[in-house]
Chain A
Amino acid sequence: MKRNLYVLLSLLVLASVVLAACGGTPATEAPAATDAPATEAPTELPATEAPATEAPSAYEGMMVESPDCDYGGEVKSIEAVDEFTVKFTLCVPDPAFPSKIAFTSFAIQPAEHLETTEGKPLENPIGTGPYKLESWERGNQVVFTRFDEYWGDPAMSQTLVFRWGTESAQRVLELQSGTVDAIDNPGPDDFAVIEGDANLQLLPRPALNTMYIGFNNNPQVDGFDNSTNPIANELVRQAIAMGIDRNRIVDNFYPTGSEVASHFTPCSIPNGCVGEEWYEFDAEAAKALLTEAGYPDGFETVLNYRDVVRGYLPDPNIVAQDIQAQLKENLNITLNIEVMESGAFLDAADSGQLVGLYLLGWGADYPDQTNFLGYHFGAGSSDQFGDKFDDIVDPIEAGAQLASDDERAPHYEAANDAIKLHVPMIPVAHGGSAVAYKAGLEGNPHASPLGNETFAVMGNGTDTFVWMQNAEPISLYCADETDGESLRACEQVTQSLLGYEVGGTAVEPVLAESYETNDDLTEWTFTLRQGVVFHDGSSLDANDVVKSLVVQWDAADPLHTGNTGGFSYWSGLFGPYLNAPPQ
């Protein structure tokens, strides 16, 4: 058939023309299958490895120190005391420090690797985990292979594949048709389907999360003036808080296991729900408040969200439309729905660019108030709610420095009360979610309350284990990512000093064998595990730890680049950067 020939020919010619014009920019290819030198693999005994004879004397430990604590952050210095000892000195006591430093964003990569990638190992992370990155076919899949020199229990499957699909129906379908072994977040309506299928199992994920309706009163945003912006008016925010029936949302649009949020933080987190409970739904009182604020006939604004399913928001479009309907019915506020792409939405929210209302949520990284109130409303929090309120920030910062839950309680109580007063956001729900697995898997299939499932501990009897999540990772340099989909992928490859137990929240040693602190919780000394090998064959030492963390902490470091340069987790958990450029 001549026609086909022509079409084929035309395709070839055109493609060549386009490509020739492109001048040949190479697409980054992942390294070939066997690149790590396998020389020392057989003799893996830590005792015979790394004789500590010459190391301590010759070792040049890095140290970065802030001259004082006036820059506002929590860390005073990070120091490699010797080859296997790292010491952190803090400006303020921090009882949650182990929980924080265990987080994925503070994973350790070889210092040299950070140098060679110019601080952007976005698609080629090198870690110490049970899996190493094999290839990342953008748009299709991420493939990991077992790292044979892993210091701990080897991964159960030779190959681990991450795939993704935004539609929960698609994920469930893939699981049902057997092409994947496990999926994240089946849709609320699919719970019953999965439970009724003998080939599948549904593992509920404890609701350690919060969905909230955020307000941004940032006056800096383009076309956004406090005097004309109704959202900047506290009375309006209170009116909206009272004018939304949150029970109705949770009862109708959330799966079983979800609950209405009484406070921003879930109650299962220590001091999570101290202080006054959230406003009761009262349409008439809300209307009266709105009238008092000067908007008797309502107003028009925007409702932003991303169409991405998360444990805290299982059905974004539906919930958004119900909020739209409620505000129209109860307060005559017209919301124009604007759906944004996930990454762009998070960027815009973080930098305070969103106008009006937005739907967002938070899943616990570690079970502490600093990860909820501290991360969102503390001194180092992003601009997502616009201007900060001193009576929210101050008690949060005070509470974060105390060791015992009892001592902290009054501070968090004050913070919660202030949040209820100023309404920077409306906490809506703690969403129940689940992970669905094929039935009869080997090992320990689990659903982690922190959303960081460890796939090295499970297998399906074949070489390949396939996981399907909601979305593609944004990058695999998680120091500069906040998205759960990226973090989960990073967690298979890289490790931090400490980590969280599989399927739980307790902190346990990982790259550090042990740690100790002084009495006022300002000095933390970690002893590294010996004989740990990175995926590129190099050995872990204290300088790798210091470098991996300093590039995040020190804004003047040439490697402080990352994907966007935001390093949100560092600033969220440890406050402002060192040497931050003046605003």
Chain B
Amino acid sequence: MTTYILRRILLSIPVLFGILFATFTLGRLIPGDPCRAILGEKATDAVCNEFIHRHGLDKPILVQFGYYVNEIAHGDFGRSFRFSKPVTELLIERLPITVELSFAALIVSLVVGVPLGILSAVKHNTWVDVITMLWANTGVSMPVFWLGLMLAYIFALALKDTPFQLPPSGRLSPGLITVPFYEIWNLELTPGTTTFTVLNFFSRMNILNGLLSTDFKLVKDAAIHLILPALALATIPMALIARMARSAMLEVLGQDYIRTARAKGLTQRVVVLKHAFRNALLPLVTVIGLSLGSLLGGAVLTETVFNLSGVGRILYEAITARDYGIVQAFTVVIAVFFVVLNLLVDISYAYLDPRIRLN
């Protein structure tokens, strides 16, 4: 097991370098002067010369890459000329929003997708199965942005003045100000330290912050605002998971030991949940890994539709503003994030699958 994990981690190192190289290359492919592409059109020659020297842009391309890797290893993602602040600061500001959204969507897709998949496998070839699978197929086919608009229309306007009314945009009700949990805990933190930054990062996830500071009004308000975007974002992974759960269950249910279990007179519920489901879990873990990509990509669209100021939205703004510094940095960060998550998924896969564990 340990060897497997180690090998898996070692294998992802070249991929990480590849990601850095790819974004580095993308950055160099930007038409025009790299300095003005990053610092904006108004940068003076003096500023540009300094910039070129600092980033080694006058050196051979491989050396430039070295500079780039070195800067990123030190957490320096450069500056955004649009927001005139370091990209790192923007990341700390915006990433929690996207993480919170994606996580909520993942939970929604699991909570709904897995039971649906199991149900449809158990009721194989009945109308339940047909409807579920038709629904799952429709789910993967719907544009996220369109679904978002439709959801906003239904829940904010059509269901107005009913208990089901939900806010169409934003993260919190207007005027609600959040206090970071570490201030409620009276932790004496110095801004600038790593602890502060990490805690600050987590305090920006409203639900987590609300739970940690036992402010349930905040939790409720944040959750209400999160429902619609999470639902829209969850549709595709939900459908993927339901489909995968169904086929995995079908395969397992057809096997001999299940027939034996049934023959022993165990109830359907026990057979399905205790014997079959556990073995169908494996492929599900893989599909969660696959869903992460669509979650992070979909976040760009969902955040645009629901006016959430996460990584996706800022990326979109940066693109239209030609703020290449942000685009480059955020792409790296999200890709690294994605690789690490997939690594964790793989490791848990190994943990669940004895064949790999014992090797």
Contacts and interface: CB of A to CB of B under 8 A. Distances in A.
The CB with the most chain A CB atoms within 10 A, among B94, B170, B314, B323, is that of B170
Contact of B82 (A3, A170, A344): A344
A141 interface: yes
A139 interface: yes
Contact of A7 (B86, B192, B321, B344): B344
When A and B form their complex, which 10 residue pairs have the shortest distance between CB atoms, in order from nearest? A139-B309, A26-B191, A341-B321, A10-B344, A341-B320, A24-B197, A22-B75, A21-B75, A464-B175, A466-B174
Given A173-B168, A180-B174, A14 B91 contact: no
Interface of A: 1-4, 6-11, 13-27, 29, 122, 134-135, 138-141, 143, 159, 161, 163, 165-167, 170, 173-174, 176-177, 179-180, 222, 339-341, 343-344, 347-348, 351, 353, 463-464, 466, 563-564
B355 to A, nearest CB: 18
Contacts of A18: 91, 95, 333, 336-337
Contact of A464 (B156, B171, B174): B174
A111 B103 CA distance: 47
A139 to B, nearest CB: 2
A144 to B, nearest CB: 10
B25 interface: no
Interface of B is mostly: helix
Contacts of B175: 141, 143, 159, 161, 463-464, 466
Given A11-B341, A18-B95, A347-B40, 4 more contacts: A22-B75, A23-B197, A341-B317, A341-B321
Interface stretch (B7-15, B60-68, B198-206): B198-206
Contacts of B196: 24, 26
B246 interface: no
Given A25-B86, A341-B317, A163 B107 contact: no
B359 interface: no
Given A3-B284, A15-B99, A344-B322, A24 B194 contact: yes
Interface residues of B, number: 75
A477 B190 CA distance: 28
Given A179-B174, A343-B82, A351-B42, A26 B344 contact: no
A91 B242 CA distance: 77
Nearest to A5: B348
B110 interface: yes
A3 B110 contact: yes
Given A10-B344, A344-B321, A15 B172 contact: no
Given A23-B74, A348-B41, A140 B157 contact: no
Given A134-B177, A141-B174, A10 B200 contact: no
B84 interface: yes
Interface string B64-89: 00000000111100000011101011
Interface string B153-175: 00011001000010111111111
B170 A140 contact: yes
Interface in B180-217: 191-198, 200-202
B157 A139 contact: no
Given A3-B284, A10-B344, A15-B202, A170 B169 contact: yes
Contacts of B198: 15-16, 19-20
